[in-house]
Amino acid sequence: MGKSSSRKKKDKVILPPQLPPEADDDEVVVSDEDVEFFRGNEGHARALARLDRKSIDSYVTRVAHHDEDEVERLYEERERRRKAAEALRPKKDGDDDDIEVDRVDALPVKTLQGDLVYNNAKKARYDDSSNAVGSKSEDKVADTKQTIQKGERKDKSKSKKGDGKLQNVQAQTEAPNGKLQSKVLEEVKEELSAEELFEKKKAQLAEIGMSMLEDPESHIRSLNDMLNICNDKDQKVVKLGLMSLLAVFRDIIPSYRIRQLTEKELTVEVSKDVKKMRYYEYTLLRSYKAYLQKLISLEKQPNFCALAVRCMCTLLDTAPHFNFRENEGKHRGEATIEAVRLIADHVKLNDCQLHPDSIEVFLSLRFDEDLGKDDREEDKGKPKKNKRRQNQEVPKQLPVSDNKKAKQELISKAREEVDAELRSVSFTLDPKERRRIQKETLSALFETYFRILKHSVSISNFRGKVIVFPDGSHPLLAPCLEGLGKFSHLIDLDFMGELIACLKKLSGYTDHHSGILHDNTLSVSERLQCCIVAFKVWRSNLEALNVDLQDFFVQLFNLILEYRPDRDRGEVLADALKTLLWEGKQQDMIRAAAFIKRLATFALSFGSAEAMAALITLKHLLQKNSKCRNMLENDSGGGSLSCLVAKYDPEAKDPYLSGALASVLWELSLLQKHYDSSVSSMASNILSMANLNPTQNPVPISNANPLEAYRDLSMEQELSKPANTLLPLNCRKKRRGKEFVALSPAALEGLDCVAGGDELKEKLQNHFAVLRGILENERLRAELNHTMSSINLYKEYKKQKKIRKSKADKKKVSRA
Amino acid sequence: MAKKLGKKARKFARKHLQSAAKRNRKQRSQFARRPRRGGSGRGNERSGDGDEEMPQRANDIVMNNGDAAALVNGLEFPEDESELNSDLSDSDGYLSEDSECLYYSDSEDGNAVNDCFVQDGLDGENDKMNMEIKKQKKKLNKLMDKDPEFANYLEKWQSELKSYGSKEDSDEDEMDSVDNTADSSDENPSNDKILTRKTISEWCQLVAKEPKASSLRSLLNAYRDACRFGVSKSPSVQRIQSTEVFYQIITFVLSEADNIFRAHLEISDDVNKGKIMNLRSAKKWQTIEPLVKSYLQNSLDLLSQLTDNQILACVLTRLRASAVLFSAYPSTSRRLLKILIRLWASGDHNLSLSSFLMIREVASLLPECLDLCLNKSYNTYLASSKLVNEGNIKHIGFLTDCLVELYSLDVQKSCERATTSIGQLNAILRQACKTKEKEDLRKVDSWQYINCANLWVRFLCCNYKDYNMHPLLSSVVQIIRGVAHLFPGTRYLPLRLRLVQMLNELSSCSQMFFPIPSLLFDCLEFRDTSQKEQGQKAKVNFSSLLKVPKNLLKSRDFHEECILLAIDVLSAHFAQWCYHVSFPEVATIPLILLKRLHEQTTIESLRRHIKRLIDQVDENKNIVERKRDGVSFSPNDTTSVQSFVQDLQAEKSSGKISQFYKNVPKKLRDWL
């Protein structure tokens, strides 16, 4: 106990109470280990008492004061001293238990940064042992240690004040001794060999893999080797092995299913080739099975889970037809519910900040139509809960949820498989059971949806005060709204009121538009979607609900002006027009008039697709509300109908207060001049209503609803249509006279630029002079070259002369 | 940059003059002559930087012509290069002279006096070389003296070299060989007589007095030699030695030749092609024809020789008078057009203008040249509009206008081309829209594409009223909208504003309604996110941008410019519809946005501008509203709506907005 007290004492003195709070968990773990270590090495712990307290104190306090230079200086000094002392001593074996280590040097070996520092120290030690040179390697060790300490110091200076518990850890690390070093050395050796082995195995894997890919038939047996490698102790090797196998399997799995041979078949004599083939298939099948089993077993281990699941998914993706696909597990909708629940939890955990894809899968769920209605009723529909293929890649932005997501992936995959299987075996589920499962799925689904809605509402409440998320977005809201729209008929009536209230809130968030759009408000598209969903929910429940949807009209009325092409999705706007106005029954006259006027104005400022959607809606409104047709006519100073507001206010926020009934749809006369012929003809068509009596409708020119019309005219659509080959125009043949059409007279000025005689003369003469100069230069150069080469020729000439001479001499000699 | 390059080039040229001269000759012979850096650099030394830049750009264009196909996005029209078949190239235009033509020798030794002020920069080097030659010759002589046997050896070698050299010479290039053979053939005794000032002035006087004088031939021969000076190696060229003589010949022939020929042929100024064709059988044509041919051909040589923009412009102006004469020589006209189009695309405004006028003259006089003219000029336009910067923006605008002029000569023919070109633009756009790949997008987001679209917009604007071009218009509009759709966002605001401006133009020419505001929301809702002023006052120049560089995206300057330009194009839109009965509705949504913008903008000058626009629009709106309160027709009464517009136009109080538009600082619209 004494030692512990002394330790504590030391803690107070030495330890700079600075530890990164985020490293908390790790530290605790390390601390436990250290405590164990401490107990196991009591003898060494006692060494604590002998610690050079002063130096430690000075060191630690300096550290605490962040006096780095000072510390470095101290270290260098210490180093010198130690070297000197070592020189005096005889060389020691590195494994000696009683090796004396300067405690200060040992200090940082294993500190708060746990593993990293430890490894470095090991490596340093490894250098030591491999070199087997005493003092020199000591130096190295010291160097590395110093660097380690530097790193540590940095960490310390970065870290904030820690708590006492963590201080203990620090104290533990101050108990270095010889044994530790020897242990370290052993580990280093192990690691070295492991590393070598790893390299070796990696190379082996690569080799086998390559040969397999080159010629699978003759190397099929290598699969076993690869599988063996996968049983390796080293996790890295296992992972690599699994990946390599995956690559190999992906490549070699045939496009057919291998059938088990019957006994009869086995007995039949076959040709060599067939035998070989059978062997190949057999081995492949066996290895594949083993591989799958391996994967399944590994899936349960946290370290391998992600990898295993990925491998399986890839296999399913590339070879869904192959044997053993059912290995991944059968289910009867349990998987669906599990997946939905998992996603629900996932959403909950991540506070709705997920990639939209993660809940978009819900859209592919299918429920029996009558699910929400009567429990008694026996359903006969086929069990269909299959999701169609989704983006398998659920986003990986949150590592925490990887497992779950991976499971979702797996499950959705598996479900696909199983469904196919189910259909093929015509396996039917007990209807009641199925119903139960579906109900549960549904409730989990709606739970998620409501959670997202509520979450969006709560964020929006903060609007203006705190920016909760920097992007201020609600990534899940759009798919959530879409899902609500899709499953609106299944929503429990009890929820309805709450849901509508929620949507109302969401759709109206910029109600008190202060002029500054906050970044974290809902986008126009999202708000429009809210309106759409509300109406869908309302309608799909037979409109029995006594809900006031007036607010949504007001929202739409204002949102029409907030819509921006490119920024907002035009389709949503068109859909909103369709859902709220086009599909609606008899509208309130004043409201209809307000919308009519606003849509007409809208059509003047927006592209033809939007304009068309607006005009179709407008026309529909005019048809349904024949009294509004008065707006087409200009009766003595505006509409003849009296209403609350006499003067039309184009910027009104409330359709009831806009006074639109008193206005005239002058817009249409301008829209008749619209460049887009479909828009202009629609405008004319609407205008023609003025001449008809209220019960008559004009000749319909298009049956499309606003959404269809929008899609039809949208730019994407227009550009994806085949280009209409422009026929060469038939212009009246007419040649123009001499008059200019494009150039302004100003541009033609300064034309007759007959430069002043002198200037021109000078320039021309200059031109000539330059040319003459060049000619002259050329001539001179040629002459010079000629002369030079003549001179050079002299040498040649001399040489030849010499040769001739020598030849002559030789001849003379020979003759002589 | 250009200046730097020019210096370097000059230095280089001085070092390698011989090779440079050779290269130039070669290029000239291909009619793809690039302005000779060596020569022109020196020639321009006294002129300013503006001149320096020009040949550089011309250079670029010529260089790019080679791989134009790859760079022009497949927008180019195909050209058949199988021209230049000869109706002239077989002869070099040498005219046999009457021997009675007298040659005079200069009494005063004027050469030295006249030439000393035209230092040609090479003199120093030439002098040095002269010295060197003397030195080396001395050395050689010494050697020969020492060893007389060597003299024999040398002689043998020299004769060998000569025979070898002549063989090589004939292989050198065809143009030269033509020259050589031609030169060797005209063994006229007068050829080696040096032309003196006196001779020339004497001839000139004779010709001026009596156009049919025989000295005209001699004069034209002299002109030929003058034009080929520095290109041809024939000895006859050596006849001209003084700058004065050169000047005399060129100026006299250029200024008088047309009159003389017309006098010979007895034709008036406004003669057309048909008349020339009719003349061809006449006797007077037969006699004068070689002279005309010689004159025209040599003038072309001169054009491809000259490097100074001013001289070129001058020569072109003079030559334009004789444009109709080219109609007798189709291939010469083609050659002429090629030279002209190259000069037209060069950067100098005056030269460009005079080339264009000549092109137009030729194109309207010679219908068979129109095709070539349209294709070639269109391709050249595309090539030179590839890069737009502050320096050449005006020039490109000018080129566009010129091209529109040319295309308006024969609208029927042009429409076919326009259809093809617009089809190509459309295909590129569709491809980009489909793949959304960077490569394809870049094809659309390029100056070439935009300039090409702009060309057809202008073309439509000029001709829409007179011809039925609606299908063409709608496909151009589709392209414009498609491009705008393809590149949303603040970064592409300059591009977008350009497109909006095009729509405005189309709208005003076709009197159709375009919902302009739908493309301007980005501008009008553009909030200055960064309040803090950036340190570097980087000036945003919209005129040469399609896409704003990222570092400027948040600058105040960009912000300001954006809104000002948006106000500009928006007020153009308002100005067009300000008399319409539906103006209040047209203005409704933009007004809401403008008011919002006015509230939010912190930049005072901007606020003022916005406020002014708002006030104008409001006022106009009130006028229209008051006026239409008093009328009794309904929106479907088209004729009454039309007369409403006319009534309002007649009223003095109305239409303030169009005045406002006219008063918006002009500079804003210059680039659009």
Residue A267 is predicted with a pLDDT of 74
**A54–B contact, CB cutoff 8 A:** no
- The answer to whether B512 contacts A675, with C-beta atoms less than 8 Å apart, is yes
Residue B451 token pair: 């300039």
Chain B CB within 8 Å of residue A231 CB: no
Residue B136 is predicted with a pLDDT of 82
Question: Would you mind telling me the total number of residues written for chain A in this entry?
Answer: 816
Q: Which of B588, B618, B644 to mutate to test the interface with A (most CBs of A within 10 A)?
A: B588
What per-residue confidence (pLDDT) applies to B540? 66
In this complex, do B313 and A753 lie within 8 Å of one another by their Cβ atoms? Answer: yes
- Bridge pairing between strands A160-161 and A18-19: antiparallel
Contact B419/A732, CB-based, under 8 Å?
no
Contact B405 A742 (CB under 8 A): yes
On whether both A158 and A237 belong to a single domain, the answer is no
Residue of B nearest to A566 (CA): B488
Write down the pLDDT at residue A30. Answer: 46
Chain B, 5-34: which have a CB under 8 Å from a chain A CB? 17-18, 21
Using a pLDDT cut of 90, give the percent of chain A over it: 2
- Examine residue A342 and state whether it is found in any structural domain, yes or no: no
Kindly report the nearest CA distance between residue A774 and chain B, in angstroms.
7
Pairs across A and B, CB distance < 8 A: 342
Contact B471 A667 (CB under 8 A): no
Q: Is the pLDDT of residue B484 over 80?
A: yes
CB contact under 8 A, A601 and B307: no
- A671 and B474 within 8 Å at the Cβ level: the answer is no
DSSP alpha helix (H) spans, A319-369:
334-349, 357-360
Q: Which residue of B has its CA nearest to A674?
A: B513
Residue at A370 is within a domain: no
Q: Residue A780: which of B133, B411, B415 has the nearest Cβ? A: B133
Domain match, A120 and A233 both: no
Reduce the DSSP state of residue A532 to 3 states and report it: helix
Beta-bridge mates of residue B156? none
Does residue A451 belong to any structural domain of this protein?
no
Least confident of A687-691, B67-71, B501-505, B617-621: B67-71
pLDDT tens track for B409-421 = 888 888 888 888 9
Say whether B472 and A729 touch across the interface (CB within 8 A): yes
Q: Which two tokens stand for residue B32?
A: 């793809």
Residue A674 within a domain? yes
Could you tell me how far CA A59 lies from the centroid of its own chain? 47
Question: Is there a single domain that holds both residue A570 and residue A680?
Answer: yes
Residues A161 and A229 in one domain: no
Task: Name chain B contacts of A729, Cβ cutoff 8 Å.
Answer: 412, 415, 419, 467-469, 471-472
> pTM of the entire structure?
0.66
**pLDDT in the model for residue B312:** 84
Q: Which amino acid is at A36?
A: E
Higher pLDDT, B6 or B564: B564
Instruction: Let me know if residue A520 belongs to a domain.
Output: no
B405 touches chain A (CB under 8 A): yes
Which of A666, A720, A784 is nearest residue B133 as measured by Cβ atoms?
A784
User: CB-based contact (8 Å) between B409 and chain A?
Assistant: yes
pLDDT single digits (tens) B46-92:
333 333 333 333 333 333 333 333 334 566 777 655 444 444 444 45
Nearest by CB to residue A763, choosing from B18, B310, B404, is: B310
Query: Which of A:611-630 have CB within 8 Å of B?
Result: 611
What residues of chain A lie within 8 A of the CB of B251, using their CB?
Answer: 760-761, 764
Percentage of residues of chain A with pLDDT beyond 70: 55
% residues pLDDT > 70 (chain B): 70
The number of residues in chain B equals 672
> What is the SS3 assignment for B645?
helix
**Nearest-CB residue to A634 (from B120, B466, B634):** B634
Indicate the domain borders of chain B. Answer: 2-66, 542-670
B235 shares contact with chain A (CB less than 8 Å): no
- Is the alpha carbon torsion for A90, A93, A98, A103 positive or negative? positive
Q: Over 80: is that where the pLDDT of A802 sits?
A: yes
Q: Are B551 and B523 in contact (CB under 8 A)?
A: no
* CB contact residues (below 8 A), chain A span 499-528, against chain B: 515-516
Is the model's pLDDT at A672 over the cut of 70?
yes
One DSSP character per residue, A232-291 reads -S-HHHHHHHHHHHHHHHHHH--SSPPPPPPHHHHHS---HHHHHHHHHHHHHHHHHHHH
Whether pLDDT at A11 is above 60? no
B515 contacts A606? CB cut-off 8 A: yes
Which pLDDT tens digit goes with each residue over B470-483?
888 888 998 998 99
Identify the pLDDT of residue B436.
Answer: 84
Closest to A682 (Cα-Cα) out of A619, A630, A592: A619
Nearest-by-Cβ selection for A515 from B158, B416, B600: B600
Which DSSP letter does residue A120 get?
A: H
Query: Does A253 contact chain B (CB < 8 Å)?
Result: no
Do A292 and A148 have their domain in common?
no
Q: Which of B507, B581, B636 is the closest to A688 by Cβ? A: B636
Residue of A573, A615, A733, A753 to mutate, testing the B interface (most B Cβ within 10 Å of its Cβ): A753
Among candidates B150, B588, B636 on the partner chain, residue whose Cβ is nearest the Cβ of A601: B588
Does any CB of chain A come closer than 8 Å to the CB of residue B502? no
- Please name the residues between 371 and 390 in chain B that touch chain A, using a CB distance below 8 Å: none
Structure tokens at A179: 């044994």
Average pLDDT in the A74-85 region? 66
The Cβ of residue B291 has, within 10 Å, a number of other Cβ atoms equal to: 19
Per-residue pLDDT of B355-386, as tens digits, reads 888 888 888 888 788 888 888 899 989 888 88
Nearest CA in chain A to B475: A726
Q: Supply the DSSP symbol for B652.
A: S
Mean pLDDT of B586-611: 87
B-chain CB neighbours of A794 within 8 Å are 143, 147, 150
Q: Chain A: give the shortest CA distance to residue B71, in Å.
A: 24
Q: Three-state SS for A588?
A: coil
Shared-domain flag, residues A159 and A89: yes
> What are the CA-CA distances from residue B513 to residues A228, A372, B477, B577 (Å)?
76, 52, 12, 9
Q: Give me the domain span that covers residue A163.
A: 2-176
- Over residues A96-118, the mean pLDDT reads 42
Best mutation target among B344, B502, B513 (most A Cβ atoms within 10 Å) is: B513
How is A390-436 classified by DSSP, letter by letter?
A: --S----S-GGGHHHHHHHHHHHHHHHHHHHHHHHHT----HHHHHH
Contact A680, A650 (CB under 8 A): no
Contact assignment for B21 to A608 by CB distance below 8 Å: no
The predicted pLDDT at position B1 comes to 44
Distance from CA of A469 to the nearest CA of B (A): 18
Amino acid in position A755: A
Task: Name chain B contacts of A573, Cβ cutoff 8 Å.
Answer: none
Q: Which one is predicted more confidently, B229 or A727?
A: B229
Facing residue for A781 by CB, picked from B18, B158, B354 = B18
The band of B179, judged by pLDDT with boundaries at 50, 70 and 90, is very low
Decide if B247 and A764 are in contact by the 8 Å CB cutoff: yes
Give the number of domains in chain A.
3
| B365: closest CA of chain A, how far (Å) | 11
Q: Which residues have CB under 8 Å from B387's CB, separation 6+?
A: B60, B447
Tokens of A580: 């709220």
The CA distances from residue B309 to B26, B323, B353, B402, in Å, are 21, 20, 11, 19
Distance from CA of A673 to the nearest CA of B (A): 5
Q: For residue range B510-551, what is the model confidence (pLDDT) as tens digits?
A: 889 999 988 888 887 766 555 555 555 556 677 777 888 777
Is the separation of the CB atoms in B213 and B204 below 8 Å? no
Contact list, A773 vs chain B (CB under 8 Å):
120-123, 126
Q: Do B511 and A673 count as a contact with CB atoms less than 8 A apart?
A: yes
Question: Would you call A19 an interface residue with chain B, using a CB distance cutoff of 8 Å?
Answer: no
B 173-232 residues with CB below 8 A of A?
226, 229-230
